[in-house]
Amino acid sequence: MVYRELTQAEYSDLESRILYEDNHLLIINKKAGEITQGDKTGDECLADSYKAFIARRNSKPGQVFLGIPHRLDRPVSGICILAKTSKALGRLGVMFKGSEVHKTYWALCCSKPEVPEGILENWLIKNEPKNKSYVTDERPGAKLARLKYKYLQSTDNYHLLEVELMTGRHHQIRCQLGHLGCPIKGDLKYGAPRSNPDGSICLHSRSIRFEHPVSHLQIVVEAPVPATWPKL
């Protein structure tokens, strides 16, 4: 297998964003705008970029295996796990479905919530043509979405919330915070008044905690927020 030749700048950037690595896992800090897995745009996905990175770093002539047990939306940044073995991929898939992977997000919002912390519980329904979720009543096709949020601090214009997902629904954090009246900075789709210059939204997968699928050690990883965010 021949992978794309990376420039030195690309190689250094990919290397700098590795948060954890062992024989089974590769955990990286995804940039907003990157796609985790290939899609109809034809843009290079994160998995392919790191396959090229590993092939070069390890002087590996054959095919590099990197499985994708979960995804982050394209405009979202932060922690993304890639599996380096099929054993890890299969076990991680089960763990994500069983809510055994505990994820915390930071959301920089346009408004401060009236209640500083709480649990949001809404029924969401996805509109496929618009690629958007809506809060609705309980009805066929709707899925229950639950999350915990906590206000952390404010900048001059924005307000930082910490969010812990209790379910994993399409655009869940974006939709539920928008419905709360606290749209995420840059997220026009869910109520923000203006976009970010780079097309990102200020939603960041900040930390993750789980039992290693093979060694069973406790893994805790944290990702720094993008440099483009307002200073916190």
> What is the reported pLDDT for 42?
79
> What is the reported pLDDT for 158?
97
Return the exposure string of 26-43: e unless at least 16 CB atoms fall within 10 Å of the residue's CB, then b. bbbbbbbebbbeeeeeee
Where do the domains of the chain lie? 8-222
| For residue 12, pLDDT beyond 90 | yes
Q: Say whether 73 is catalytic.
A: yes
Structurally, at CATH architecture level, domain 8-222 sits in: 2-Layer Sandwich (3.30)
With beta carbons less than 8 A apart as the criterion, state whether 106 and 163 touch: yes
Owner of token pair 């899609």: 39
Taking only the tens place, the pLDDT of each residue in 32-81 is 999 998 777 778 999 999 999 999 999 988 899 999 999 899 999 999 99
Please identify which of the residues 13, 22, 48, 73 carries the catalytic annotation.
73
Query: Would you give the end-to-end CA distance of the chain in angstroms?
Result: 44
**CA 211 – CA 218 distance, rounded (Å):** 5
Mean pLDDT of 27-31: 97
With beta carbons less than 8 A apart as the criterion, state whether 189 and 201 touch: no
Taking only the tens place, the pLDDT of each residue in 193-205 is 999 999 999 999 9
With beta carbons less than 8 A apart as the criterion, state whether 105 and 163 touch: yes
Owner of token pair 């999350």: 147
With beta carbons less than 8 A apart as the criterion, state whether 35 and 74 touch: yes
